[in-house]
Amino acid sequence: LTGESSAEERETAMRELELGNLDYILTRDIFNEGIDIPAVNQVVMLRNTQSSIIFTQQLGRGLRKARGKDHLRVIDFIGNYQNNFLIPIALFGDSSLNPDTIKEKMIKAQTTGVIAGVSSVSFDEVSRRRVLESLQTAKLDSMHNLKKAVRDLEYRLGRLPMLIDFARFHTVDPVVIASNKKSYWNFLVHTKMETAAPTAEEAAYVSLLDSELLNGKRPQEMLLIRSLLERGSLTKTEFVSLLDAYRCASNDATVTSVERILTLEFFVESELKKYGPNALMRVVGENYLVDPVFSRLYSSGGQFAAHVDDAIETALYLARHDESWSGKLVVGHQYTRKDVCRLLNFESNQYSTLYGYKTDAYSGTCPIFITHDKAEDISATTQYEDGFESEATINWFTKSNRSLERSKGEIDIANNLYALHVFVKKSDVDGGDFFYLGEAKARDAHDTTMSSGASVVNMKLDLEHAVEPGLFGYLADTAE
């Protein structure tokens, strides 16, 4: 049937389909919406989907209930076109504009086979690979999409939304929108939705909160800030008791890490230029004191206090619902190198030099970062042959020019003198986020030589937790 088919032809075809005399009706640009054939139990998508909304409307043609109908089967040839990432967005009802969130949902669905309730989804290997590749190149967080997300929620609320509203209504990821112009306040001013811009001091504080602490990877900092703003001061013992009451990690290493972040001692010089010179708090002996500049700006109320409260509330919401309320790394979640420095309680932020791996005596840890599919244009000396031997074992190579006879760091790793934390991403196209695979133990270390002639140490890394099938299939897939 086409747009030129008469109403009588359409009615006849629909009746024949319901009676079982026709198996399929093929249409183009008709029957997308408004049509009602309850008996339909299979929908085949052959067109290039340009909109997740239209896809959902087309899907709805098969969702009508009918006597004797117990399922709907949908087949979509999503591997055939560039906008295939719109399909998982529609299927998962995801409006986060965060490709990493959608990727996680696709991988999880591949493991469980379930979207929600009794609905299941299966992506064939080619389609899954192409969808994940297109997600990484799609500009989901364009200014147009972000502004539309704000206006849509504003229409629903009857007021300009705050970050906590995006979190609670499960629309755009608050971290995505807040990071666009260093802070949500700056974004609102840039888009002319807000006229009063922050002062330099205010901008530094809200940028620190929105850029570093909003993501909810660890709630301890925000819990301390909230208490300091309420009380003005807190002893270290009181803070530990507070963390215990909230069932958050309260060990000495974590508490010290929180101190260094809120006093800005954790950050490197380039970051201090953005977030300094004023810290969020001061440490005097065993006492935590809110920084007087921060306190003065917050006490004056207005936009600054509103955005500070919003960042705190949103970060704690994300920590409780999406990330880790304890403040520890979660197997299967994604982290940047900067996240890892913070959550492993490094003394300072070493993300800019944290490539491959690093033995950190201060924290007693060694994070290992592996890019499974190496880019073809990287140098031969960095073409390491890392790879999975199984869901629980990785064949791993150290940096070049290393030996068990002279390289102390590699010797210590081989002898498991550091807690080894393994992070893997599929390829550099995936950006800066790595999947955390958990802790590992090294074994069978030995010196060897790469094809480039560089000397390296090769060893097995046995993971404490086997990688889930869906994630393993994604990371270990080497098909072209």
The whole-number average pLDDT for the span 329-346 is 96
Helices 469-476, 125-137: crossing angle, 10 deg rounding: 70
For the chain, the average pLDDT equals 90
Q: How far is CA 1 from CA 10, 14, 15, in A?
A: 7, 10, 14
Those residues whose C-beta lies under 8 Å from the C-beta of residue 227, and which sit 6 or more positions away, are 234, 239, 242
Read off the DSSP letter of residue 211. Answer: I
Consecutive H or E run containing 120: strand 119-120
Which has the minimum average pLDDT: 388-397, 406-415, 425-434? Answer: 425-434
Read off the DSSP letter of residue 449. Answer: E
Contact 423, 335 (CB under 8 A): yes
* Best CA proximity match to 297, nearest among 286, 289, 306, 288: 306
By DSSP bridging, strand 281-284 and strand 365-371 are unpaired
State how far the Cα of 388 lies from the Cα of 305, in Å rounded to an integer. Answer: 49
The whole-number average pLDDT for the span 117-132 is 76
Q: In the numeric block, which tokens belong to residue 136?
A: 């990484």
pLDDT of residue 222: 98
Which has the minimum average pLDDT: 112-126, 187-201, 369-383, 414-428? Answer: 369-383
Contact 460, 443 (CB under 8 A): yes
* Residue whose structure tokens are 């704000």: 150
Read off the DSSP letter of residue 360. Answer: B
Share of the chain above pLDDT 90, in %: 64
* Best CA proximity match to 289, nearest among 229, 222, 203: 229
Residue 328 has pLDDT above 90, yes or no: yes
pLDDT of residue 275: 95
Read off the DSSP letter of residue 358. Answer: -
Residue 306 has pLDDT above 80, yes or no: yes
CB under 8 Å, gap of 24 or more: what pairs does 355-362 form?
Answer: 356/398, 356/399, 357/398, 357/399, 357/413, 359/409, 359/412, 359/413, 359/418, 360/418
Instruction: Please provide residue 314's backbone torsions phi and psi, each rounded to the nearest 5 degrees.
Output: -70, -45
By DSSP bridging, strand 365-371 and strand 419-425 are parallel
pLDDT of residue 72: 87
pLDDT of residue 264: 97
pLDDT in tens, 159-212: 999 999 999 999 999 999 999 999 999 999 999 999 999 999 999 999 999 999
Mark 399-428 as b/e (b = at least 16 C-beta within 10 Å): bbebeeeebebbbebbeebbebbbbbbbee
Those residues whose C-beta lies under 8 Å from the C-beta of residue 99, and which sit 6 or more positions away, are 85, 135, 136, 138, 140
Contact 356, 420 (CB under 8 A): no
Q: 377 vs 98, which has greater pLDDT?
A: 98
User: What ranges do the domains of the chain cover?
Assistant: 32-137, 143-321, 334-476
Q: Amino acid identity, residue 299?
A: S
Fold of the 334-476 domain: PUA domain-like (2.30.280)
Residue 362 has pLDDT above 70, yes or no: yes
The whole-number average pLDDT for the span 379-391 is 73
pLDDT in tens, 413-428: 999 999 999 999 988 7
The whole-number average pLDDT for the span 356-374 is 93
State how far the Cα of 57 lies from the Cα of 95, in Å rounded to an integer. Answer: 16
pLDDT of residue 47: 74
The whole-number average pLDDT for the span 309-327 is 96
pLDDT in tens, 205-243: 999 999 999 999 999 999 999 999 999 999 999 999 999
Predicted TM-score of the model (pTM):
0.85
Share of the chain above pLDDT 70, in %: 94
State how far the Cα of 76 lies from the Cα of 87, in Å rounded to an integer. Answer: 9
Residue 266 has pLDDT above 50, yes or no: yes
Contact 223, 243 (CB under 8 A): yes
3-class DSSP assignment, residue 432: coil
If you compute the radius of gyration of the chain from its CA atoms, what whole number of angstroms results? 26
pLDDT band at 248 (very low <50, low <70, confident <90, very high): very high
State how far the Cα of 349 lies from the Cα of 363, in Å rounded to an integer. Answer: 12
Those residues whose C-beta lies under 8 Å from the C-beta of residue 150, and which sit 6 or more positions away, are 160, 161, 172, 177, 188, 191, 193
Q: 53 vs 235, which has greater pLDDT?
A: 235
State how far the Cα of 250 lies from the Cα of 236, in Å rounded to an integer. Answer: 11
